[in-house]
Amino acid sequence: MRQIFIIVGKEWRDGLRNRWVLATTALLAALALTLAFLGSAPTGSVKVGALAVTIVSLSSLTIFLIPLIALLLSYDAIVGEIDRGTMALLLSYPVARWQVLLGKFFGHLAILFFATVIGYGFAGLAAQWAGNDDSHAWAAFAFMVATSGLLGGVFIAIGYLISTLVRDRGTAGGIAIGVWLFFVLLYDMALLGGLVVDQGRNVTPHVLNTLLLLNPADVYRLLNLTATNDVGGYAGVAGLGAQAGLGPSALIGALAAWMVAPLIASVVLFARRQV
């Protein structure tokens, strides 16, 4: 475990030196504050909690932004160090390959989670300042921040899998962008088109559940926009959440599986890869 923590610290210091921590935090804070102030505008007339509106807005932002940041952090974590020759130097020390990979993973996850907590925290405080929200809204907000970190972990793990499969950074970057486009944009467009064409003949609720679980972005969306009645009502997807019939425990388990499976595959592939 000591070796893993040492590598976590190394990745954190590299993130500070390369301005990844500061840049990611500033980007998330700027976008989150913008959404918080814009989202609080209608709360006075329709009696919507400012923080609940912010949760809906930030959940939509997270689906697009967090996976992209996670993949940019991780796509060259292995192949980039192999190309630069630093991986061979690192493995010359008394450290196992799985410890290197897990240390790098948790280091990148710490960077992303720190940026998410600080950036979104500013938005939560701004929403609190704009309107009075109760403890239920703050609980939903904390849940959204935590699951945003979990979603980031999913795509960091996918980025590591990409990085262990390819032989050069350019290919890894191209595949990472393709993965982002598929899960964030193309999958839902294809699913929506299929549902329209099917007209409920073949896509039963059980099939829909399976299709939703096959996309971590959809799992995150359902988890945050239907977890509470207030947020689900403001998001307009409460009906979808009820139809899907997937509870928070199942959705959290699905996100965890999406993170663990690529990470295990990365460890196995990295152990067999020639450096």
What confidence category does residue 269 fall into, taking pLDDT thresholds of 50, 70 and 90?
very high
Summarised one tens digit per residue, pLDDT across range 102-111 is 999 999 999 9
Q: Which of 62, 73, 85 is closest to 172 using CA atoms? A: 73
Judged by DSSP in three states, 92 sits in: coil
- For helices 50-74 and 216-225, the axis angle rounded to 10 degrees is 160
Q: What percent of the chain has pLDDT over 70?
A: 83
- pLDDT average, residue stretch 104-123: 89
- For helices 248-272 and 135-165, the axis angle rounded to 10 degrees is 20
Does the global pTM surpass 0.75?
A: yes
Q: Where are the domains of the chain?
A: 2-272
Mean pLDDT of the chain: 82
Dihedral, 219, 221, 223, 225 alpha carbons, nearest 10: -160
Asked if residues 151 and 62 have their Cβ atoms less than 8 Å apart, the reply is yes
Residue 12 has pLDDT above 70, yes or no: yes
Residue 153 has pLDDT above 90, yes or no: yes
What confidence category does residue 132 fall into, taking pLDDT thresholds of 50, 70 and 90?
low
- Identify the helix (H) or strand (E) that includes residue 86: helix 86-91
Summarised one tens digit per residue, pLDDT across range 156-172 is 999 999 999 998 899 99
